[in-house]
Amino acid sequence: MRLLVTGAAGMLGKDLVRAAEAAGYDAVGLAREDADITDLAAIDAAVRESAPDIVINCAGWTDVDGAEASTEQAHRANAEGAGNVATAAASAGAWIVQISTDYVFDGNKRSPYVESDAPSPLSSYGHSKLAGEREVVARCPDMHTIVRTSWLFGSGPCFPATIMRLAGERDELTVVDDQVGCPTFTGHLAEALIELIDAHALPLGVVHMAAAGSCSWYEFAREVLASGGVRCELRPGDTTDLARPARRPAYSVLATDWGPIVPRLPEWREGVAEYMSAGMPAA
């Protein structure tokens, strides 16, 4: 079976190609310079040439705050781009797996969000990702799986790398403790996605896949520093004090109603430990 991964130069894309190859799949990775997903002709040609059985779309706009000032660009990548990949997959007769986000929710719930909960994004980024989900459903109505995940970190620029860098520059850091989610190590998510494909039971519709457990950004940072053996004064802060351009959901913990068909990821602290042991903070 051949898998095609778009966004293959990104955190999750790199880990997916690696996990697919380790599992014995014929994996093809496409970075932006190989085929820009906002260019339908380019992505269609790339998909046809690869002739995949499954396309996993990891490409898109990931700058949450930047999307507020660049709404059109974010929409072009996350909505129109996702639609282009889905169109190309449909033309090639391939199943599409679209990676989405917990930021499609508004965070007003105080129990984990499941797939049947109604999305209500707060930010331009969240709106663009939700629009991308809908484009995929419209273009591949019978051959799609939309995977929502949460707070990704892995090889490359990410929250733990930033915390480790700042801790080396400052004696004290303030991190918000009023946003709660599921920090998800891309290595674990990639392995779970391949396990889902291995089962030959890709579910039609939306699936939530994120690390087990939940925490605030403050608790996440504290675990990163402890795992790295770094001494730095860490103080809890409020989201309102940061004045960030994009609104974030205060609570975006994900759970699934799919039962055992969906692989369970390790607890988020295990992801931090694996990330730190691999020396990722050098990014």
Q: Is residue 233 part of a domain?
A: no
**What local confidence, expressed as pLDDT, does residue 278 receive?**
85
Q: Is residue 224 part of a domain?
A: no
Sign of CA dihedral 165, 168, 170, 171: positive
- pLDDT above 90 as % of the chain: 92
Q: Is 44 helix (H, G, I), strand (E, B) or coil?
A: helix
The DSSP 8-state label assigned to residue 102 in this structure reads G
Least confident of 86-100, 206-220, 237-251: 237-251
Helical H segments across the chain, by residue range: 11-22, 40-50, 66-69, 71-75, 81-92, 124-139, 159-169, 186-198, 217-228, 239-242, 268-277
Sorting pLDDT into bands at 50, 70 and 90, what band is 283? very low
Question: Stretch 134-158: mean pLDDT, rounded?
Answer: 96
Give yes or no for a contact between 91 and 47, defined as CB atoms under 8 angstroms apart.
Answer: yes
How far apart CA 258 and CA 69 sit, in angstroms, is 37
Number of helices (H), then strands (E), belonging to the chain: the values are 11, 12
Sign of CA dihedral 40, 68, 116, 178: positive
Residues 81-118 have pLDDT tens digits of: 999 999 999 999 999 999 999 999 999 999 999 999 99
Q: Is residue 67 part of a domain?
A: yes
Q: Is residue 229 part of a domain?
A: no
* Residues 6 or more apart in contact with residue 18 via CB below 8 angstroms: 190
Question: Stretch 243-267: mean pLDDT, rounded?
Answer: 94
Range of the domain at 101: 2-215+244-282
Q: Is residue 71 part of a domain?
A: yes
Residue 136 has pLDDT above 60, yes or no: yes
Residue 200 has pLDDT above 80, yes or no: no
Number of domain units in the chain:
1
- pLDDT above 70 as % of the chain: 99
Residue 43 has pLDDT above 50, yes or no: yes
Residue 211 has pLDDT above 50, yes or no: yes
Q: Is residue 18 part of a domain?
A: yes
Residue 73 has pLDDT above 80, yes or no: yes
Structure tokens at 114: 């499941």
For residue 62, the domain's CATH number is 3.40.50.720
How deeply is 81 buried, as exposed, middle or buried, from its count of CB atoms within 10 A (0-12, 13-18, 19+)? Answer: buried
Question: Stretch 32-44: mean pLDDT, rounded?
Answer: 95
Q: Is residue 114 part of a domain?
A: yes
Cβ neighbours of 176 (radius 10 Å): 19
Residue 275 has pLDDT above 70, yes or no: yes
Radius of gyration of the chain (CA): 18
The 3-state secondary structure of 140-161, one letter per residue: CCCCEEEEEECCEECCCCCHHH
Give yes or no for a contact between 163 and 221, defined as CB atoms under 8 angstroms apart.
Answer: yes
Q: Is residue 73 part of a domain?
A: yes
Structure tokens at 199: 């089962």
How far apart CA 215 and CA 77 sit, in angstroms, is 30
Residues serving a catalytic function are 125
